[in-house]
């Protein structure tokens, strides 16, 4: 029972918790081994196991990725889920074609440009906590469309692992506890979220479940079962849809049945570039992440044609300066291309990338304030000269997840999904188990004002009904030099504003340094995002001498515990062996077929 005291519950389930830890360690230890069949990497052991089960049943990479995503909705709902949305790149190993699907959330029809502004100021928390932060979810439409168009197995088979886990429960892990601690007060404000995700402590107050607690979600199991039987309409119409709308509107939110019934996914053309002879496909706008990936890699190739030595302070300086400029472009130009004139082709063109590279001083950092310019389309307003730096979001609050799969036939999926902030809006639709997103915070509540991740965006990302908010998610495929139709690397990560830089660094580690995949995803990280004007360095990272040299060049360092959760799979062009790696910073597991 959920009212059981912490002490007795922890004692009863302690052995299970130890078992979970042993299982995680054993799985991570196997991450570097080669596989002759398919390979998968996800943020959760149960999701990787479900993906591998689909491959063993004769399914392909899409079946595996969708099964993993639905399982993630159950065991990692704080990261992503059926109340959220995402992006996917799907590569057909036989035809060489790559399809891109945008199933991000959109602003409800009643959304307004200044809905989070009062007396000229953004109201803190209004776009991140509670019902007014909820955008129209797209995950269910996206997952099931991918399955219908590209999968081989029926929905009942693909959703079965998620349904079973929701019904029978999963054991609470340290990662779950950390996520809950980061959003505990928000979760306590919603009675249904408290009932589902928390347990009552000895004082009778909803609190963090103990390690090894068996968390069951029977309402979510019923919702998933309905979708396995009836498809997306079980979510976007009928009792589940009504429960979502009733819950949101009861609290003063604006989601309607019409918003749900009219939701549509959006196929997009892949954003294409190259790096040192490797073709790269990534996510186009409304992702700002894909643009940054291509811009930074392109600039590095011009500035360091011999390759980037990651621990060389001179090379790192060039990398940071390229990232700084990419985030300036993000601020000025990027948003939903269906609502704004986003100059994507120009931003990733060789000429513009050459201009970015040419503006970098190899000897000293460029102050971000000197790069500030009027926000495109913002009626003459300018970006703030230097907004007060927001606190660096704690790792548990940068909640998104990624799935990477390559199957035995060379089909590949890179899919990143999210509910945005940890546990999304902290609102659960009554009786459904559906945790709703807080994706409205990814819009610019007020152009020039930082969001929860410290990102400053401009007028192209202002709020409009039906609009997709700008995103950092950067699912990416890197192809073999020898065969530009064959995927060599599928990679992605969570981490809010740090997603593009995580993806860039993993690609560079593999291509430039020839690192094995496990080391590439586990290497220390650095990050800059233009504002605040700080170079973030994680604890896994750089030697003191390197840091001192960067400081001497004018970089203001900020040490951060850690960020990101890179998930990657690699197919060796020479041996055809496959490798998978899950970020050692978290609890993910990399698996494959012998």
- DSSP state string for 452-467: TTS----GGGB--TTP
Burial 515-550 (b: 16+ CB within 10 A, else e): bebbebbbbebbbbbbbbbbbbbbeebbeeebbebb
Residue 413 per-residue DSSP state: E
Q: How many of the other CB atoms lie within 10 Å of CB of 379? A: 8
* pLDDT for res 458: 82
> Percent of the chain scored above 70 by pLDDT?
90
pLDDT single digits (tens) 187-220: 999 999 999 999 999 999 999 999 999 999 999 9
**Is 46 part of any domain?**
yes
pLDDT band at 373 (very low <50, low <70, confident <90, very high): low
**Is 374 part of any domain?**
no
* pLDDT for res 447: 81
Helix (H, G, I), strand (E, B) or coil at 512: coil
Residue 381 per-residue DSSP state: -
Whether residue 12 has pLDDT greater than 90: no
* pLDDT for res 1: 34
pLDDT band at 21 (very low <50, low <70, confident <90, very high): very low
Are 179 and 399 within 8 A, CB to CB? yes
Whether residue 396 has pLDDT greater than 80: no
**Is 191 part of any domain?**
yes
Is 418 in the active site?
no
Q: What does the pLDDT average to over 325-343? A: 95
Q: In whole angstroms, give the CA distance from residue 386 to residue 369.
A: 7
* pLDDT for res 455: 76
Residues 6+ apart with CB under 8 A from 338: 266, 467, 468
Q: How many of the other CB atoms lie within 10 Å of CB of 575? A: 9
CA gyration radius for the chain?
Answer: 22
Q: In whole angstroms, give the CA distance from residue 450 to residue 283.
A: 23
**Is 419 part of any domain?**
yes
Q: In whole angstroms, give the CA distance from residue 291 to residue 477.
A: 14
**Is 300 part of any domain?**
no
pLDDT single digits (tens) 356-366: 999 999 999 99
**Is 429 part of any domain?**
yes
pLDDT band at 457 (very low <50, low <70, confident <90, very high): confident
* pLDDT for res 112: 97
* pLDDT for res 224: 98
Q: What does the pLDDT average to over 307-332? A: 95
> Tokens 């803190």 belong to which residue?
124
Taking all residues of the chain, what is their mean pLDDT, rounded to a whole number? 91
pLDDT band at 13 (very low <50, low <70, confident <90, very high): very low
Q: Which of 40-44, 356-360, 367-371, 548-552 is predicted with the least confidence, judged by mean pLDDT?
A: 367-371
Q: In whole angstroms, give the CA distance from residue 304 to residue 315.
A: 8
In this structure, what are the phi and psi dihedrals at residue 292, rounded to the nearest 5 degrees? -65, -40
Q: Is the pTM of this model over 0.85?
A: yes
Q: Which residues share a beta bridge with 281? A: 272, 477
Residue 343 per-residue DSSP state: -
Whether residue 578 has pLDDT greater than 60: yes
Residue 553 per-residue DSSP state: T
Sign of the CA dihedral running 484, 485, 490, 491: positive
Whether residue 379 has pLDDT greater than 80: no
Looking at per-residue pLDDT, the higher value among 427 and 394 belongs to 427
pLDDT band at 4 (very low <50, low <70, confident <90, very high): very low
Q: In whole angstroms, give the CA distance from residue 79 to residue 71.
A: 12
**Is 153 part of any domain?**
yes
Are 512 and 276 within 8 A, CB to CB? yes
Q: In whole angstroms, give the CA distance from residue 477 to residue 367.
A: 33
Residue 48's closest CA among 404, 400, 396? 404
**Is 356 part of any domain?**
no
pLDDT single digits (tens) 483-502: 999 999 999 999 999 999 99
Q: How many of the other CB atoms lie within 10 Å of CB of 576? A: 12
Residue 29 belongs to what domain range? 6-111+137-267+405-433
pLDDT band at 26 (very low <50, low <70, confident <90, very high): very low
pLDDT single digits (tens) 336-351: 999 999 999 999 999 9
For the CA atoms of 316, 321, 323, 326, what is the dihedral angle to 10 degrees? -160
Q: In whole angstroms, give the CA distance from residue 530 to residue 325.
A: 7
Q: What does the pLDDT average to over 290-309? A: 96
* Region of residue 66 (left: phi > 0; alpha: psi -120 to 50; beta: else): alpha
Residues present in the chain in total: 594
pLDDT single digits (tens) 74-100: 999 999 999 999 999 999 999 999 999
**Among 128, 331, 344, 400, the one annotated catalytic:** 400
H/E stretch holding 143 reads helix 139-150
* pLDDT for res 32: 63
Q: What does the pLDDT average to over 585-593? A: 96
Q: In whole angstroms, give the CA distance from residue 293 to residue 388.
A: 27
- What is the count of structural domains for the chain? 1
pLDDT single digits (tens) 148-193: 999 999 999 999 999 999 999 999 999 999 999 999 999 999 999 9
* pLDDT for res 6: 32
- Output the 3-class SS for 297-315: HHHHHHHCCCCCCCCCHHH
Q: How many of the other CB atoms lie within 10 Å of CB of 424? A: 33
> Percent of the chain scored above 90 by pLDDT?
86
């Amino acid at each position: 029972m959920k009212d059981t005291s912490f002490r007795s519950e922890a004692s009863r389930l302690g052995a299970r918790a130890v078992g979970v830890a042993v299982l995680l360690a054993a799985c991570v230890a196997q991450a570097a081994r080669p596989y002759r069949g398919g390979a998968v990497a996800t943020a959760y052991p149960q999701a990787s196991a479900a993906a591998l089960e689909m491959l063993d049943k004769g399914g392909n990479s899409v079946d595996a990725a969708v099964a993993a995503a639905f399982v993630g909705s159950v065991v990692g709902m704080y990261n992503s889920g059926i109340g959220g949305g995402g992006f996917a790149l799907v590569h057909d190993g036989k035809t060489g074609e790559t399809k891109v699907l945008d199933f991000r959330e959109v602003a409800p029809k009643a959304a307004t440009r200044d809905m989070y502004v009062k007396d000229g100021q953004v109201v803190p928390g209004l776009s991140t906590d509670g019902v007014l932060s909820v955008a129209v979810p797209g995950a269910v439409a996206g997952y099931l469309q991918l399955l219908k168009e590209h999968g081989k197995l029926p929905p009942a088979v693909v959703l079965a692992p998620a349904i079973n886990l929701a019904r029978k429960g999963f054991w609470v892990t340290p990662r779950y506890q950390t996520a809950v601690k980061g959003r505990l007060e928000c979760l306590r404000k919603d009675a249904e979220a408290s009932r589902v995700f928390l347990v009552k402590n000895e004082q009778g107050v909803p609190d963090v479940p103990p390690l090894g607690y068996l968390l069951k979600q029977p309402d979510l199991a019923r919702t998933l079962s309905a979708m396995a039987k009836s498809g997306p309409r079980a979510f976007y119409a009928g009792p589940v849809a009504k429960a979502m709308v009733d819950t949101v509107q009861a609290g003063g939110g604006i989601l309607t049945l019409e918003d749900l019934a009219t939701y549509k996914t959006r196929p997009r053309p892949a954003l294409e570039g190259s790096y040192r002879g490797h073709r790269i496909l990534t996510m186009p706008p409304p992702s700002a992440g894909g643009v940054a990936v291509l811009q930074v890699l392109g600039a590095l190739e011009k500035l360091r044609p011999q390759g980037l030595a990651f621990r060389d302070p001179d090379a790192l300086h060039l990398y940071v300066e390229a990232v700084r400029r990419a985030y300036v472009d993000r601020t000025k130009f990027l948003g939903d291309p269906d609502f704004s004139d986003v100059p994507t082709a120009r931003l990733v063109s060789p000429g513009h990338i050459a201009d970015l590279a040419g503006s970098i001083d190899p000897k000293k950092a460029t102050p971000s304030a000197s790069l500030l310019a009027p926000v495109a389309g913002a009626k003459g307003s300018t970006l703030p000269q230097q907004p007060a730096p927001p606190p660096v979001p704690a790792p548990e609050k940068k909640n998104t997840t990624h799935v990477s799969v390559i199957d035995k036939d060379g089909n590949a999926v890179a899919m990143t999904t999210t509910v945005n902030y940890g546990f999304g809006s902290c609102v659960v639709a009554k009786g459904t188990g559906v945790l709703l997103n807080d994706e409205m915070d990814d819009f610019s509540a007020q152009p020039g004002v930082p969001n929860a991740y410290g990102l400053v965006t401009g007028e192209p990302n202002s709020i409009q009904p039906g609009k997709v908010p700008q995103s950092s998610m950067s699912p990416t495929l890197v192809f073999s030099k020898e065969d530009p139709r064959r995927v060599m690397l599928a990679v992605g990560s969570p981490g809010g504003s740090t997603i593009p830089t995580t993806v860039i660094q993993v690609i560079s580690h593999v291509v430039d340094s020839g690192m094995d995949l496990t080391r590439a995803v586990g290497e220390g990280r650095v990050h800059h995002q233009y504002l605040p004007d700080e170079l973030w360095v994680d604890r896994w990272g750089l030697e003191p001498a390197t840091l001192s040299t960067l400081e001497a060049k004018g970089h203001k360092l900020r040490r951060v515990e850690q960020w990101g959760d890179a998930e990657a799979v690699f197919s060796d062009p020479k041996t055809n062996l496959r490798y998978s790696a899950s970020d050692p910073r978290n609890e993910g597991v990399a698996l494959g077929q012998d």
